[in-house]
């Protein structure tokens, strides 16, 4: 009896991550369009490709479990996607790129935490094939996370270069007030 309840929980969780994947894909598209640093634009494109692969993998898991996909909202994922969308609207290009990189990291970490737990629960209810697909997802997310983490220092360096070359006419405190950052 307990296994059935855990499997039902896993199916609900799969529906939640399917919706999160949709939200994150849309946010990654908007961030990629707003990125000014070429390497960030490329990295966000790579993350978008990973999320597309995750969507396909989720479909495989649902087929493996004989479950129809019913994407459900997840407040945490929706909040992260909203933060990513807000980051894409910041006026200062250097701050926008840094904020979007941070938003992409948040997406990755939410997904890694969610899929890690889901994989463990699937194994507990003897759904090893589905859990193996989750492991594939985790490997792709880990690689995407390493790429965006490696990018962060260069984005910070670009912001510092911007200020050193006279593009900053006011102190950072004056430049980055909330009202000026948001369009």
pLDDT tens per residue across span 112-139: 999 999 999 999 988 999 999 999 999 9
Give 170's DSSP letter.
S
State pLDDT tens for residues 5-33: 888 888 888 999 999 999 999 999 999 99
Tell me phi and psi for residue 6, to 5 degrees: -65, -40
Domain boundaries, position 150: 2-181
Structural domain total, the chain: 1
What is the model's pLDDT at position 152?
A: 75
Interhelix angle 128-164/38-65, nearest 10 degrees: 170
CATH number for the domain that contains residue 154: 1.20.1260.10
pLDDT confidence tier of residue 66, bands split at 50, 70 and 90? confident
Judged by phi (left if over 0) then psi (alpha if -120 to 50, else beta), residue 73 lies in beta
Rg (CA), the chain: 19
What is the model's pLDDT at position 99?
A: 92
CB neighbourhood size of 170 (10 A): 10
Give the residue-averaged pLDDT of 141-168.
69
pTM attached to this predicted model: 0.79
Give the residue-averaged pLDDT of 163-173.
45
- List the structure tokens of 77: 């994922």
State pLDDT tens for residues 68-85: 877 788 899 999 999 999
What is the model's pLDDT at position 154?
A: 74
């Amino acid at each position: 009896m307990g296994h059935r309840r855990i499997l039902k929980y896993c199916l609900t969780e799969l529906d939640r991550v399917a919706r999160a994947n949709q939200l994150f894909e849309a946010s990654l598209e908007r961030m990629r369009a707003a990125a000014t640093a070429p390497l960030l634009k490329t990295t966000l494109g790579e993350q978008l490709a990973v999320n597309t692969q995750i969507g396909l993998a989720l479909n495989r898991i649902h087929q493996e479990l004989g479950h129809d996909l019913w994407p459900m909202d997840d407040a945490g994922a929706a909040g992260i996607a909203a933060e990513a969308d807000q980051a894409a609207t910041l006026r200062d290009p250097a701050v926008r790129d840094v904020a979007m990189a941070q938003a992409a990291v948040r997406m990755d970490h939410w997904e890694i935490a969610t899929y890690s737990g889901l994989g463990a629960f699937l194994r507990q209810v003897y759904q090893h094939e589905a859990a193996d697909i989750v492991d594939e997802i985790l490997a792709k997310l880990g690689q995407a996370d390493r790429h965006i983490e490696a990018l962060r220092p260069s984005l910070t360096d670009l912001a510092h270069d911007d200020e050193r070359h006279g593009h900053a006419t006011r102190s950072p405190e004056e430049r980055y007030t909330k009202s000026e950052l948001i369009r």
